[in-house]
A and B are shown apart, each in its own frame.
Chain A
Amino acid sequence: MARRPLFCTVLYMRRPVPTAFALALAFVLLTAGAADPAFAHGIVGKQDLPIPRWLFAWGAAVVLVVSFVALAVLWPQPRLERSTRRERPVVRVPVAAEVACGVVGVALFVLVVYAGLAGTQTEAANIAPTLVYVLFWVGLPFLSLLFGDVFRALNPWRAVARAVAWVAGRAGGGALPEPMDYPSRLGRWPAAAGILVFAWVELVSSSGGDPSTLAVLALVYAATQIIGMSIYGIEPWTRNADPFAVYFGLFASLSPAHWQDRRLSLRRPLVGATEVVAGPGTVALLAVMIGTTSFDGFSGGETWSNLAPDLQRFFVDLGFSQSQALEVAFTIGMLGVVLLVAGLYRLGIAGMRTIGGGADSTALGRRFAHTLIPIALAYVVAHYFSLLVYQGQAIGFLASDPLGDGSDLLGTADATIDYDVVGPNGVWYVQVGALVVGHVAGLVLAHERALVLYRKARDATRSQYWMLAVMVGFTSLGLWLLSAQAT
């Protein structure tokens, strides 16, 4: 008989479960039974920390509680939402720069496809997996935080669509058929589904690292985006449904750098996140972003190592092959963690509703969805920082030998990875710092939104008690997942 994940039982029991109990139990399910899980993107070397790692979790919780109290006492009015402070214009870039960025994006896309199809199928020797999984998937969130929505300029599918539209417009005398209205009920659901599929390919699929698989998937992805843009228009589709554009765009909303119509201006950090319109699918997308990153760490731990073989055996008994059964088991695990993250968030929202007012859970959940953006970024930084720092250096020799055929185009084929660039302790402190800062930022955004929604500041603060518990829960979960890095 198939095992039903226990947290599902907790979340979907007909009888209301006390929030505190459900929250604690859901977290226990992840932490209990873990014996120093190995971490998927672990660091090299042994940490030498002055205090036990679990004490960092306690310290982080204290920081969050103190931040919460400080917000309640010192921040009685919204400062980020409905801010009257104008953005400070910095520079306006010419059209040529925008075109150049698009060309670079298309060139990199072509490189991934060509290297994937024509190069060696050894994952580490082909540039495609490193370009996609390290520089693109992990590197761009860092760039988005620092420099704003840079992917919008580099987006190869958008660049191609705009070029085609420009040429077609000229050839047709400037008149192009109007695209259909983007369906409001779709919202960001296509983006959520796309990121989930990408995470599945990376974390679950047995052939996810194959260069040729990546190349084919990149082509399928590009074709899907082109079709979507041609039906619903370039900008509506890119803003709502292009998974990577939405993913990087959400991270860019945290940045002080804001690009609009080729104009760069500076604004307060986090202001952009308060302007995110959380339509249908936004909470799901953020749960996918946090949940899949969490599963990447969780799947390297002993809890999952104990559970996965049982699940695999069950599916083998149903007639699946060994590798198929393992993929199904991992799929269930990944979806389970995503649902757990969504459930924890829903618990926070349910706690908020106890203040009164009779607000609908979905409506309230959407209004606080943007508070998950810094948490999602914190998880990415904490989880993948070491991967970016170490594996990112591989681009040095892969750029010279992108196909893995022994060429030395740039004379850097002999470059190596310097594992001393950041020590184990340094990586740990960056991870802890990212998680704490990310969750404090989430608290700030939640406090701001509560001040706008609730009539009285007292009710706004009370409504955030349970969000504070959720933030502390996410922080502890993140630090627990990271704790296995140094043994």
Chain B
Amino acid sequence: MIVPLAHAGHWLVSLLYLVPVVILVAALAIARRRDSRYDDPAADDDVFADDAFEDDLSAPR
């Protein structure tokens, strides 16, 4: 895909739609990194409720 430089103004405006996603993803990545310092590895297997995956979604209804 060749993006003509003459249309740079247009596609830069299009990229503005991406800015919220980039900001959010960056913020989440940073938050995740900070969070990981305080993660308790022992609690890793215990995050789901007991019946979280009990129902069989493949059963025909």
Chain A window 329-365, contacts with chain B (Cβ cutoff 8 Å), 1 for yes, 0 for no? 0000000000000000000000100111111000100
Say yes or no: is A428 at the interface (Cβ < 8 Å to chain B).
Answer: no
CB <8 Å contact, B22 and A24? yes
Chain B window 35-61, contacts with chain A (Cβ cutoff 8 Å), 1 for yes, 0 for no? 100010001111111001101011111
Chain B residues positioned under 8 Å from A367 (CB to CB): 53, 57
Say yes or no: is A65 at the interface (Cβ < 8 Å to chain B).
Answer: yes
Chain A residues positioned under 8 Å from B18 (CB to CB): 24, 27-28, 31, 476
Say yes or no: is A284 at the interface (Cβ < 8 Å to chain B).
Answer: no
Chain B residues positioned under 8 Å from A303 (CB to CB): 1
User: Are A58 and B20 also in contact (CB < 8 A) when A357-B48, A462-B35 are?
Assistant: yes
Minimum CB distance partner of A304 in chain B: B1
Say yes or no: is A202 at the interface (Cβ < 8 Å to chain B).
Answer: no
Chain B window 3-24, contacts with chain A (Cβ cutoff 8 Å), 1 for yes, 0 for no? 1000100110111111111101
Query: How distant is B55 from chain A, measured CB to nearest CB, in Å?
Result: 8
What CA separation (Å) do A343 and B57 show in the bound complex? 21
Query: How distant is B59 from chain A, measured CB to nearest CB, in Å?
Result: 6
CB <8 Å contact, A357 and B47? yes
CB <8 Å contact, A465 and B14? no
Query: How distant is B1 from chain A, measured CB to nearest CB, in Å?
Result: 6
Pick from A40-48, A217-225, A452-460 the stretch touching chain B: A452-460
Query: How distant is B52 from chain A, measured CB to nearest CB, in Å?
Result: 4
Minimum CB distance partner of A278 in chain B: B57
CB <8 Å contact, B47 and A459? yes
What CA separation (Å) do A473 and B28 show in the bound complex? 14
What CA separation (Å) do A54 and B11 show in the bound complex? 12
CB <8 Å contact, B59 and A363? no
Minimum CB distance partner of B35 in chain A: A462
CB <8 Å contact, A469 and B28? yes
What CA separation (Å) do A24 and B38 show in the bound complex? 27
Chain B residues positioned under 8 Å from A24 (CB to CB): 18, 21-22, 25
Say yes or no: is A33 at the interface (Cβ < 8 Å to chain B).
Answer: yes
What CA separation (Å) do A355 and B19 show in the bound complex? 26
Chain A window 434-478, contacts with chain B (Cβ cutoff 8 Å), 1 for yes, 0 for no? 000000000000000000111110010010011011001100110
What CA separation (Å) do A183 and B35 show in the bound complex? 44
User: Are A32 and B19 also in contact (CB < 8 A) when A20-B26, A453-B52, A469-B28 are?
Assistant: no
Minimum CB distance partner of B20 in chain A: A61
CB <8 Å contact, B49 and A455? yes
Tell me the count of chain A residues lying within 8 A, CB to CB, of chain B: 66
CB <8 Å contact, A472 and B11? no
Contact of A280 among B2, B21, B58 (CB under 8 A): B58
CB <8 Å contact, B1 and A33? yes
What CA separation (Å) do A472 and B25 show in the bound complex? 10
Contact of B21 among A181, A454, A469 (CB under 8 A): A469
Contact of B14 among A31, A58, A279, A469 (CB under 8 A): A31
CB <8 Å contact, A239 and B61? yes
What CA separation (Å) do A356 and B1 show in the bound complex? 39
CB <8 Å contact, A65 and B24? yes
Query: How distant is B15 from chain A, measured CB to nearest CB, in Å?
Result: 6
CB <8 Å contact, A31 and B3? no
Chain B residues positioned under 8 Å from A359 (CB to CB): 48, 52-53
CB <8 Å contact, A479 and B17? yes
Say yes or no: is A76 at the interface (Cβ < 8 Å to chain B).
Answer: no
CB <8 Å contact, A34 and B10? yes
What CA separation (Å) do A476 and B24 show in the bound complex? 12
CB <8 Å contact, B24 and A36? no
Known: A23-B25, A33-B14. 5 other contacts (CB 8 A): A31-B15, A279-B59, A351-B28, A359-B48, A479-B17
Q: List 5 A-B contacts (CB under 8 A).
A: A19-B25, A184-B58, A280-B58, A367-B57, A479-B17
List the interface of chain A (C-beta within 8 A of B): 18-20, 23-24, 27-28, 31-36, 52, 54, 57-58, 60-62, 65, 181-185, 187, 236, 239-240, 277-280, 302-303, 306-307, 351, 354-359, 363, 366-367, 452-456, 459, 462, 465-466, 468-469, 472-473, 476-477, 479-480, 483
